Amino acid sequence: MRSSIVVLKEQIKQFHLVRRLSVYEIKSQTSGNYLGAAWEIINPAIQIMIYWFVFGFGIRQRAPIGDVEYFQWLFAGILVWFFINQGVMKATRSIYTKIRMLAKMNFPMSVIPNYVVISQFYPHLILLGIGIIILQFMGYPVSIYYLQLPLYMAATIALLFSITLITSTLATIVRDVQMMLQAMMRMLLYLSPILWPPTLLPESWQTWLKLNPFYYIVEGYRNTLLGQGWYFLENPMYTLYFCGLVIVLFMIGAYLHVKFRSQFIDFL
């Protein structure tokens, strides 16, 4: 608990530094490309079209999901996945790739995975804005359910920071964690209800599937963008489970980070 309080205080105290470093991070990533930040839109667009063609035309034969066409259903759920995937992967390797450069700067190391996660939030906002405009022309206008969207954004950031506190610490100690996590994230894409509806599984299996916290985020986004309901209110026990899991992950991540951060430089 003490470690959690320490890390939480560090994030609050260094909030403005996190914001500045996150802006610098996204600029540094796109400065060497001719198209710059446009790649943050181009890459997801290509992947969405591939998934839509393979799963929509090939496997599902253009069959709708309930009363929603497959493309709109896929599109509303996958928008947040790009943020999740990039946030986890880049923040996991953030400490051991940046610690030498930042060692002389006077701020706590727990800030590093946080500002990397936030740097991936900016492209997500752009992609989400474009997605909302596209959905308007597909028959899904902005509705009152959009009021819950900031809640899912905050939940996603909290979840990613909690996870990457753990993974960035472990990846600094053991580099194999990065490769293992890459395989796990690829697997989670297919185990989360992004490319296929969970209703294809027996109801007892769906309960196990919901142990994946990304399920909650994806379904929350999908219910918001497609105007299908107040997901967090309609599933109160699942909301409590998600919040409890984030707290537990944060406590574990904070403990590991505070315990090992004085030794990080020794593992490089």
The pLDDT tens digits for 207-226 are 888 888 999 999 999 999 98
Question: Which residue intervals of 109-235 are DSSP H helices?
Answer: 111-137, 149-173, 176-191, 203-209, 213-225, 231-234
Average pLDDT (6-22) is 81
Determine contact, residues 260/95, Cβ cutoff 8 Å.
Answer: no
Top pLDDT among 253 and 39 is at: 253
Q: In this model, does residue 168 exceed pLDDT 80?
A: yes
Alpha-carbon distance of 133 to 216, in angstroms, equals 24
Q: In this model, does residue 246 exceed pLDDT 90?
A: yes
Mean pLDDT (the chain) is 82
Residue that has been written with the tokens 């105290």 in this structure = 13
Alpha-carbon distance of 259 to 61, in angstroms, equals 52
Instruction: Tell me the domain boundaries of the chain.
Output: 2-267
Determine contact, residues 168/181, Cβ cutoff 8 Å.
Answer: no
Full-model pTM: 0.87
pLDDT of residue 29: 67
Alpha-carbon distance of 253 to 119, in angstroms, equals 20
Determine contact, residues 93/171, Cβ cutoff 8 Å.
Answer: yes
